Amino acid sequence: MVLGKDMPLPWWKKYTLTIEEASNYFWIGEKTLRRFINEHKDEDFIIYNGTKVLVKRKVFEKFIDENINTL
């Protein structure tokens, strides 16, 4: 996702985040986040694009707020 030729879209405008971006945004380690996603494969906050996993930012925020003890 890019705004212009060389300007990446800011994270606060992104609908989805990569594992690396989500790890940085939510302050969760990448390994922990990957393990959590593997344990919750059918949740609404996950999108699979082939083998690439994307996290729906706002949906995951809501999930974390409602289930803070599961992390």
What tokens were used for 56?
């729906």
Higher pLDDT, residue 4 or 23: 23
Give the Cβ contact number of residue 53 at 10 Å. 18
Walk me through the domains of the chain, giving residue ranges and CATH numbers. 11-70 (3.90.105.50)
List, for residues 16-68, the tens digit of each pLDDT value: 999 999 999 999 999 999 999 999 889 999 999 999 999 999 999 999 998 87
Is the Cα torsion angle 60, 28, 34, 20 positive or negative in sign? positive
The reported pTM is 0.78
